[in-house]
Structure 1
Amino acid sequence: MSLTRKEISTIIFTNLTSNKEVLKAQFLKSKATIGYFFIDNLLPEELVLEIYQKFPSTDVSVKRKNLREYKFTAFQMDKYDSLLEEVIYAFQDEKIIKIVSEICDLESTFGDEHLYAGGLSLMGKDNFLKPHLDNSHDKDINRWRVLNLLYYVSPEWELENGGNLELWPNGLKKTPLTIVSKFNRLVVMATHNNSWHSVSKVNTDAIRCCVSNYYFSEKPLLHTDSFHVTTFRAYPKEKIRDAFLMIDNFLRSSIRKVLKKGVKKSSHQYKK
């Protein structure tokens, strides 16, 4: 059932449009802390299963394992099945960007053809992503990162599997809000200086597969937003790890204050 990005984006647009008012109400209700909405059954089940089956294995993905995270990513899309590139860029169709921006009450929002920090994400047993703030800008530090789009495609994914999105709207000392990485679910969340989020440790032998996109804007979401690198913290009970992560944040941030674009260009982008 392989479709083109135009055909996929048309289905996405239809579902977002028909649910626009409900999704907008959901986002606005949470906007004061971390604005978000999610929609289930976004695409035909047969297509989503095909997307899942076409995901690359962790053996040919980029492994990221350190105190901050343990996961696998894939973003050089011409190395993988063409359907994966089609579905990623379907979310960057102009009409999708426009309808998502309207739901989130944003103006002048842009996609990212380079997939900077986006693309495909794979998480297996014991993989995790500690609480963090996303990098504030695009790869050229010209536009502000404002929305994170996460589309989950692993069949029969349940809360008990772990690997679920956690939002921390009341800060890292409070209990997070868990959004299950449910099959065929799209989650859209705001990214700003207070949008702490994480992914709980995966407890199953299955692979949690996610299609990831970011939208950018000429203006930050909050007038208090400031430039920052991806900033990590630990869970409340992980005191020692948290201390190391805070030192790591300070060192990386200090380097970026001197060298705005870092010591070297980020390798996490699609080089066409």
Structure 2
Amino acid sequence: MHGSPGVSIIHPRVVDDADELGKRFVAASPFPHLVIDSFLAPGLAERLLAEFPSFEHGNFVGDDGRPGGKSTSDKVRELGPAYRELDDAIQSPDFLQVLSRLTGIDGLLYDRWYLGGGTHENRDGMSLDPHVDFNFHPSERWHRRLNLIVYLNPVWQPEWGGCFELFRDPHATPRADVSITPAFNRCALFETSERSWHGFDTIRLPPDQAHLTRRSIALYFYTRDRPADEIADRHTTYYVKRQLPERFVEGRELDACDIAEMRALIAQRDEHIRMLYAENTALRKAQDVGLAGHVLYLAKRAYVRFRR
């Protein structure tokens, strides 16, 4: 199998050890996942890094319409020969079979639109709140089952933040159960479900490394079905704002950094509340327009007037 085009992008050691790695995946806590170093074949990761798009080339405009600290590119085949090679491989039956051996998930489907995926780049100060991903493909009747993230950071220290985090329950504690440094050619592979809480902590680069960014390639895979006890109503990505750090305890004297972090957490919650209210207003406005809006208005009016 090593020689097939779809598998040749993976390091041969990973293919040889796929069944044993699959046992580790299923048994992992807090939910099924794997961390695999040197995941891609020698040379391919370097070429992907060399062809990684500039920050300005991607979509770096946030939900608020303003430029932000994150840039994404989902037009993967347009990025260069290495990305076309990657795209050809990950849709092949042989590659999908290796993923099934690594995870125990059969019938995996490739997303040719890279919705939410592709290249991701984050600047200093950025973080990603704990969340579970949207559970159905936005345009197909597919269940989202698997995320595969490859990091492309030749120089990175865990104390710089940006570490990929897995949580058992982010409502209960600010501490991640697993923290993964985004080292070069390291792969984080995990099953997406209603309990696959994940994110990354704030990037805090030292002054002499401030030019660096956190770079990765995100690949998402789906199936047409999934176990009945894992199926939930269709939902978008669900975020949980981070809890206060554990160092905030009774009797502690707060310093300037503590105050700044507390204000930032409060500001994030305020912004999240504003966004939810804006979405609610937009939905209500949409309900009020056209024939459907008029029918809904009459139905609600009749319900209020005659409910007794």
Length-normalised TM-score, structure 1: 0.80
The answer to whether the aligner puts 1:37 opposite 2:38 as a matched pair is: no
CA-CA distance at 1:252 after TM superposition: 5.0
**Could you say what secondary structure the match of 1:160 adopts?**
helix
- For 1:44-193, list aligned pairs within 5 A: 44-65=41-62, 70-174=69-173, 175-176=175-176, 177-193=178-194
Q: Give 1:229's aligned amino acid.
A: T
Quote the residue 1:230 is aligned against. 237
CA contact (8 A) 2:170 2:242 kept: no
CA drift of 1:209 comes to 1.4
For each residue in 1:52-97, what CA deviation from the matched residue of structure 2 results, as whole angstroms up to 9, or x when unmatched? 1211110111114369x84110112344223223224423322121
CA RMSD of aligned residues (A): 2.9
Partners of 2:31 and 2:273 lie apart in 1 by 22
Matched residues in 2 for 1:78 and 1:20: separation? 27
**Aligned-partner Cα distance in 1 for 2:7–2:277:** 41
Q: Does 1:216 align with 2:245?
A: no
Identical-residue share of aligned pairs (%): 19
Cα deviation, 1:163-185, whole Å, max 9, x if unaligned, reads: 22111124432321211111111
Query: For the structure 1 residues 141 and 165, does the alpha-carbon distance in structure 2 shift closer, same or farther, using more than 3 Å as the test?
Result: same
> How does the TM-score come out when normalised to structure 2?
0.72
**Contact 1:88–1:119 under 8 Å retained in 2:** no
Q: Using the alignment, how far apart are the partners of 2:280 and 2:105 within structure 1?
A: 28
Identify unmatched segments of 5+ residues in structure 1: 1-5, 260-272
**Letter of the 2:236 counterpart:** V
Cα contact 1:71–1:127 (8 A) shared by 2: yes
Question: Which of the numbers 8, 11, 15 marks the counterpart of 1:10?
Answer: 8
Paired amino acid for 1:189: F
Report the residue type matching 2:24 in the other structure: Q
Q: Please say which of residues 185-194 and 172-181 is displaced more in the overlay.
A: 172-181
Aligned to 2:251: none
Letter of the 1:39 counterpart: I
> 3-state SS of the aligned residue for 1:138?
coil
Does the residue aligned with 1:12 lie in a helix, a strand or coil? Answer: coil
Q: What is the aligned partner in structure 1 of residue 250 from structure 2?
A: none
User: What SS does structure 2 have at the residue aligned with 1:10?
Assistant: coil
Q: In the superposition, relative to structure 1, how do residues 145 and 252 fare at CA in structure 2: closer, same or farther (>3 Å)?
A: farther
Q: Note if contact 1:229-1:252 (Cα within 8 Å) is conserved in structure 2.
A: no
Q: Please tell me whether the aligned partners of residues 166 and 197 of structure 1 are also in contact (alpha carbons under 8 angstroms).
A: yes
Asked if the contact 1:88/1:212 (under 8 Å) is kept, the reply is no
Question: Per-residue CA shift, 1:102-125, capped at 9, x if unaligned?
Answer: 221112211111111111111121
The CA deviation at 1:7 is 4.4
SS in structure 1 of the partner of residue 104 of structure 2? coil
Moved more, 75-84 or 243-252: 243-252
Matches of residues 13-32 of structure 1 in structure 2 within 5 Å? 14-30=12-28
Among residues 269, 291, 298, which one is paired with 1:242 in the alignment?
A: 269
1:111–1:44 CA distance, 2 compared to 1 (3 A):
closer
Structure with bigger helix share is 2
Q: Determine if contact 1:148/1:212 at 8 Å carries over to the other structure.
A: yes
- Say if 1:239 and 1:34 are closer, same or farther in 2 by CA, change over 3 A: farther
Offset of 1:155 from its aligned partner?
0.3
Change in CA separation of 1:126 and 1:171 when aligned onto 2, cut-off 3 Å = closer
**Separation in structure 2 between the aligned mates of residue 164 and residue 179 of structure 1, nearest angstrom:** 5
CA contact (8 A) 2:130 2:170 kept: no
Deviations 1:192-235 (A, max 9, x none): 11111112222222122111110101224652533111122211
**Structure 1 residues 240 and 154, CA gap change in structure 2 (3 angstroms):** closer
Range with greater deviation from structure 2 (146-155 or 167-176): 167-176
Residues 7-62 of structure 1: CA distance to partner in whole angstroms, max 9, x if unpaired? 4732417333212233212211126x421002111234543222212111101111
Which structure has the greater CA radius of gyration? Answer: 2
Residue by residue over 1:121-172, the C-alpha shift from the partner in whole angstroms, topping out at 9 and shown as x without a partner, is 1112112222122111113141011100101111022212222211112443
209-218 vs 80-89, which moves further: 80-89
